[in-house]
Structure 1
């Protein structure tokens, strides 16, 4: 790309998408290519996050329903805060549609947004949601010794929430069309490594076979290997 062509392309992109937005990419020899790559990599991350989010919500539902009922999200024994209650009401309203009938639990579960699920892993739900959910997780095998033979280490709430937070923050940036590229390639690589690892770790704790399926079908690594 010649200097004149580059300047013209930058001018067009700034006119279409704003100078502030394009300032993230204009340091690069080919800002247009980097902008398009950012669009592609964020969509690829959203694909994988979608799989993990569905795994997560389904596992929570399976784990807590036996104790709190199929409509556990309305059970007063679970201390939902106001934000969670608002999310539940919105989900019920969307699931109900124009029928006016009480929607089936599965439809409400599907309508609850990722914010709701992410915030279930806070201290508010330490004694309600977390214990039955943790029992369903797959742990990490411990180093083999006679004492811990065939034992695994399940994640703590702190461990699990840490990985959820990584995915949640990235999901918000990607969903709101924000850049995840950085001028510092080292910083960018570290950030994206952390995100990929968090997605894989959460999925593995929930279902190792599902995690392998997600990883083998992910577009992220190929895209990262072909960054402009």
Structure 2
């Protein structure tokens, strides 16, 4: 089998598809080599963001789980918070309840294994936690529990301001995460602002977490290596 040391960039453009690479070509004056360099860099910065988004997601879902577990215990309920119908009011909650059912199926291998709380929490996706930040959960979750998990928010403990600010940032990050997960271009985004949002949420939750995450992040170095 031949093992060429070089490749024809036009062949790679065809394999990846011109539609997929259109934004790269447009930003590189239709130069195929530069477009492929930008495409490769896009994958690198996407991977760097995925690392930080993953760390943020794990911390945030654990903080939410802690808060809602404590809330449920404080009112003398024996059921876990995700089984309390009163926390998920209205017709819009059906999507969250559907996500919980699917997470239970994955965590238990469709009922063939016992349900372990931590495994269920890890099976709930980023979108689930993002939608818990919406106004419909302000009274049932944010006022009694979730707002206090952001003690470093500049509002000084205003539940409405905290929920709204967290929701707007989670919405932004969910859009970014979906693009990264589907290998879509992010090279035209305001990536510095995206990074600020990630670390801002971390800081609002926990100063130690913020220091830890910023120390691990590869985003600044990859941003600095963007091809010309």
TM-score (normalised: structure 2): 0.84
Change (3 A) 1:140 1:88: closer
Mind listing any 5+ residue stretches in structure 2 that lack a counterpart? 1-6, 74-78
Aligned to 1:76: 85
Aligned to 1:110: 122
Q: CA deviation at 1:141?
A: 5.8
Aligned to 1:200: 199
Contact 2:153 2:162 in 1 (8 A): no
TM-score (normalised: structure 1): 0.84
Equivalent residues in 2 for 1:133-148, closer than 5 Å: 133-140=146-153
Contact 2:203 2:209 in 1 (8 A): yes
Q: Once superposed, what is the RMSD of the aligned Cα atoms?
A: 1.9
Equivalent residues in 2 for 1:1-228, closer than 5 Å: 8-9=8-9, 11-27=10-26, 28=28, 29=31, 30-69=34-73, 71-79=80-88, 81-97=93-109, 100-131=112-143, 132-140=145-153, 152=156, 155-182=161-188, 188=189, 191-228=190-227
Q: Distance in 1 between matches of 2:222 and 2:17?
A: 25
Contact 1:166 1:194 in 2 (8 A): no
Q: CA deviation at 1:100?
A: 2.8
Mind listing any 5+ residue stretches in structure 1 that lack a counterpart? 1-6, 143-151, 183-187
Q: Distance in 2 between matches of 1:104 and 1:153?
A: 33
Q: CA deviation at 1:71?
A: 1.8
Q: CA deviation at 1:199?
A: 0.1
Q: Distance in 1 between matches of 2:154 and 2:168?
A: 20
Deviations 1:70-129 (A, max 9, x none): 721111111251111111011000110166344021110011011100000011101122
Q: CA deviation at 1:140?
A: 4.3
Q: Secondary structure at the match of 2:61?
A: helix
Q: Secondary structure at the match of 2:112?
A: coil
Q: CA deviation at 1:67?
A: 1.9
Deviations 1:19-69 (A, max 9, x none): 101111113251111110000000100100000000110000111102225
Q: CA deviation at 1:203?
A: 0.6
Change (3 A) 1:8 1:100: closer
Q: Secondary structure at the match of 1:24?
A: helix
